Every structure is written in C-alpha cells, then in structure tokens.
Structure 1
C-alpha cells in the first residue's frame, strides 16, 4: 500500500459575493428577507443546515426552511413546483429540463461544493481498505459477504454508484435501503459485516454533536484510487480527485425573479458560504484553495 502525504485545506479569499437588498424593493420576498422552502438531498443535510444557520445569522429577516428528500423526490417536487430551490448532487437531465421549459420556467444551476460518498462500517468489520477489484465485486453484487446499505432506495448516493458501476443485474436485489443516514449508522452497529454509503458532511466532526458521534460508532474505509494508492475522503484528496467517489453539489433554482432563493444561492457560493463548505468537511467550488502539508501522525480525525 502506498503511503500518501496528508494535507489540510485552507480557503484563499479573492472576492466577496454579497447578497444585498435592493433599495426600495416592494417584494415581500427579497434576496435577504422573506421565507422560502428549500428541498435538500438528505445526504447533504448537515451542509445545508450549516449554510442556513450562517445565512440567518447574517440576514435575520430571512427564513430558509429545509425539507429533506431523497434526490429523486427532491427533483420530482422541484419539477412539480412544490419547491422552487433544491440542493442535490447532479444537474437536471435533458428530459427534466424539457419538462421545465414546457412550464415556461428556466433553471439556474450553481455549483457550490465538491462532496464525497464515504464507505463506512462497524469498527469490528474485517476490512479497512477496498481495492478497485473489491469495489467492482461489491457494487456488482458478486461479493455478497459485505451487504450494502444506502440512505434511501431513491438516493443520489445509490444513483451515483449505479452510474459508476453499471451492472446487468438490478442493484436492488443485493442492497438494503434505510430511511436516512442515522438509520444507516444504526444498521451498521447491529450488522458487523455490512458497509454503508453516506455523504461526507455526515461524518465530519466539525459540524455538530450528532455527526461527531457517528465517528465514534463507525470506521471509514480507505479506497484505492486510479494510481493504486489508498485514500480516505480527506478534503485534500477530494480536491486533488485522488479519492475515487467524488461528486458535485448544486443549488438549482426555478425562481422567476431575484428573490430569497437567489440570495441564499449567492450566499452559499460566496465568500462566507464557501467557508461554511470548508468547515463542513467538503471542498469549496467557487473559491480558490491551497493545500497545506502536515504530518500523518497528527491526523487522527477527518
């Protein structure tokens, strides 16, 4: 196994992207005031909760309510106009975009972060690393001794794995689906050979006590990259694209005017929002970053 240098990430601030309230605006819902509902892929919930808390602290007249869904349901509700802003890990496809255009709406996609799908297991699990051959066998169902559990049967995490590792057999025949990420962790504590797949921000001790506790209940498996070395989902390895299960995070809006959805998006993609991304264990998408090398012996946590 190759030994890798470890790095931390810091944000280089080169611009400020604020959310200013237009003088004299008569809209009840402006870029910094009013109330909106944002649909969120459940695997991204800790990140978006942190973003809304920071946004509310800066703009106390704004109320951004969060509703968590699986990725499929978030996009379905978006297309049905039940929610005008969503946070998911893919862009709309051509069919979805055509449906939106038919409704005389246009979508705006804003990339705010790079995320990772993390493979976790009980501390008593026999494996600590997975090479590319093992990953292929597990995701194709050929290796059934390590059952998989996802956060939802229609989750973005599952969709990503199906895209990366297409199989002639239905993946539904050999995986289990929970209702949310905490249920994945709970399942692993009772099933020592199982492997769970969760979003990166759920296992970062930098957010809150719930996600911090997850790190005490599971271990994170190292995955083999294209160069043959093994990587954990550290931010530097996500930024360098060394970790193999990386995905993008988008805010998608169908807002017909420049309202609170636009203001929240601008905040998340701006200086303060990108700092929240960094603190949540993900990699900022709109601000330059630099890598700072540090000793492996001092790196005991993600």
Structure 2
C-alpha cells in the first residue's frame, strides 16, 4: 500500500474511533440523566442482607439513584409477590407457577438471574467440644428424635428460608420438637448461641462471612461447624465447611442458589441494578463477601470460626 494511503487510512481510523467513543459517551450520559433520581425497592431474603447492602453502596456511589433494600423472611416475600406488592426480589429460590400467577395473568415475563451460591451455616458456642456434625443428626432432631449433644436448634425467623429449607430436607411440614425454635433475626441467633452452649444456630453463611461491626463481640464466641453429607459413603469421615470453593463445587451439603427476580415488566432501574450485580463489579463484591460468585474465578475464603481483634 502506498505511504499516503497508509496515512489516509490511519487518519480515517482515528476520526472513526473519536466519533465512536464520543457516541458511547453521549449515550452513557443520556442514560445517566434518564436514570437520575430514580428509585427502586428490592425485597431481600434477610439471610443475605450484608452482601446486598454492599452491592447497593457501590452501585449508588456511581449513579444518582436510590435502591431501597427491605429485608424480609422468605414466606413474607412470597405473600407479597402473590399480592403483587413486590416485583423485585432477591431470594434463594424462584417462584412457582401458582406464586407468580398474578404476574402471569398480566403477561409479565420475569427476568430471573442467578447471582451467587450461598449456604446455610450451622454455628455453635466455642465451648462446644464438637467442631463437626453429621447432617443426618440435624434431620433426626428436626423429625423429633433425640440426638446426643444437641439441646436445640435455633433459627433466624419462623418464616425464613433457612427453616423452610431444613423442613424440606427433613421431610416435615411442621416441627413438633419444642427444642426447635426461631428468634427474629440472624444477629439474635448469633448472640443466643454465643451465650448458650449445647444449641446449634441455623443462619445464612453471609452473616458469618460479613458480620456487622457491633456483632464482633458475639461472633468471637461462636464457631461454624463442618458438615458431613447424608449422601456420603458409610464410615466416611469427610466434613465440609461453607467456604467459597466448597459452596461453588457443591461439596458443602447445605448449599443453595441466590436469584434476583425481576417482575417489573419493563427495563427500569431494577433491571440496571440486576445487571450490575450480575456483572464484573457485582460478582467481585460477592467474591469479597465470602459467597460463591457465578461468573468469576474462585479463591479460597474460609468462614471464620471466630473473630479476634487482638493486634499481632
């Protein structure tokens, strides 16, 4: 190619690139102005609230919008969905056909996005001798059987996803064991276990991987148990803790998927937030939170048995 043609071609590429970048910039600015001041409310399964709060913090730092997070127990979110009180949800399950009928009747097609891999943590007081437990023992206790070394199971909320998950696992509709009970929040469970030996707390693992600062005095007195799968081979002594790798590879027996459910029926702020959480930045936040990201390479992050604030 003659030299002048090369120069002409290079000049054309520079001009084209300039206008392409400018067009993208103008588009982004228009979208930002369009979204400015918008608000959206998501109803969040309380068990993953710490991670979602960090997602909102970063998202709002980049945009002049407001995302409201309302923590609710799973059963409460389901009722709100059936009554069309909620179109934006973050849960450890998707809606059944009957649960989403109100939206289906309006021809609203849901946008369902898996964003993370979560787990249910079993926690005990640090005074407990055991550091591991067979999941079958938890199932037996849920079914009303007597199990040595377990005084009681303590859940975060009577309507939470954790108790729903465990009831399904134990094949029980209602729990007759008086020593299986629920408090109101995950923090209350952590506090209770830190003060009572012999009980096992059942909470979302996110509350141990990202404990609130004011909870450190209680989390330092609890330990996360390793759990043996009921499907393990006889006489197997393999126990797994809910680390990121064990969650993502399905080795931890109390694993579950986290979904963002969008029943808005349009491409509003809710859709933008879901896209953010499912994107590179949002997935890095999930990685940092200790849960299993869906679209990023994993690193081994162990769940803290306890937290120490002592300086080395």
TM-score normalised per structure 2:
0.79
* Offset, 1:214: 4.7
The separation in 1 between residues aligned to 2:163 and 2:204, in whole angstroms, is: 11
Aligned residues: 274
In structure 1, stretches of 5+ residues that fail to align are 1-19
Which secondary structure state, in structure 2, belongs to the residue aligned with residue 96 of structure 1? Answer: coil
* Offset, 1:24: 4.9
1:104-183 superposed matches below 5 A: 104-143=107-146, 145-167=150-172, 170=175, 173-183=178-188
The separation in 2 between residues aligned to 1:167 and 1:37, in whole angstroms, is: 34
The separation in 1 between residues aligned to 2:100 and 2:56, in whole angstroms, is: 27
In structure 2, stretches of 5+ residues that fail to align are 1-25, 308-312
Alignment CA distance shift 1:214-1:113 (3 Å): farther
Alignment CA distance shift 1:56-1:169 (3 Å): closer
Match of 1:260 in 2: 269
Match of 2:87 in 1: 84
RMSD, aligned α-carbons: 2.8
1:232-247 superposed matches below 5 A: 232-247=241-256
- Is the 1:203–1:211 Cα contact (8 Å) retained in structure 2? no
* Offset, 1:253: 1.1
* Equivalent of residue 46 in structure 2, options 17, 42, 47: 42
Q: RCO (CA 8 Å, sep 6+): is it higher in 1 or 2?
A: 1
Match of 2:239 in 1: 230
* Equivalent of residue 251 in structure 1, options 242, 245, 260: 260
Which secondary structure state, in structure 2, belongs to the residue aligned with residue 289 of structure 1? Answer: coil
Match of 1:280 in 2: 289
- The structure with the greater share of residues assigned to helix is 2
Which secondary structure state, in structure 2, belongs to the residue aligned with residue 87 of structure 1? Answer: strand
1:283-298 superposed matches below 5 A: 283-285=292-294, 287-290=295-298
Alignment CA distance shift 1:301-1:192 (3 Å): closer
When structure 1 is superposed on structure 2, of 239-248 and 224-233 the one drifting more is 224-233
1:95 aligns with 2:98: yes
For each residue in 1:258-282, what CA deviation from the matched residue of structure 2 results, as whole angstroms up to 9, or x when unmatched?
1110000000000000001011110
The separation in 2 between residues aligned to 1:68 and 1:106, in whole angstroms, is: 24
The separation in 2 between residues aligned to 1:213 and 1:83, in whole angstroms, is: 36
Match of 2:209 in 1: 204
The separation in 2 between residues aligned to 1:95 and 1:152, in whole angstroms, is: 24
Which secondary structure state, in structure 2, belongs to the residue aligned with residue 231 of structure 1? Answer: coil
* Offset, 1:78: 2.8
- Is the 1:128–1:222 Cα contact (8 Å) retained in structure 2? yes
Which secondary structure state, in structure 2, belongs to the residue aligned with residue 94 of structure 1? Answer: coil
Alignment CA distance shift 1:221-1:26 (3 Å): closer
The separation in 2 between residues aligned to 1:73 and 1:169, in whole angstroms, is: 18
The separation in 2 between residues aligned to 1:260 and 1:33, in whole angstroms, is: 10
Alignment CA distance shift 1:146-1:110 (3 Å): same
- Is the 1:33–1:260 Cα contact (8 Å) retained in structure 2? no
Higher gyration radius (CA): 2
The separation in 2 between residues aligned to 1:88 and 1:21, in whole angstroms, is: 33
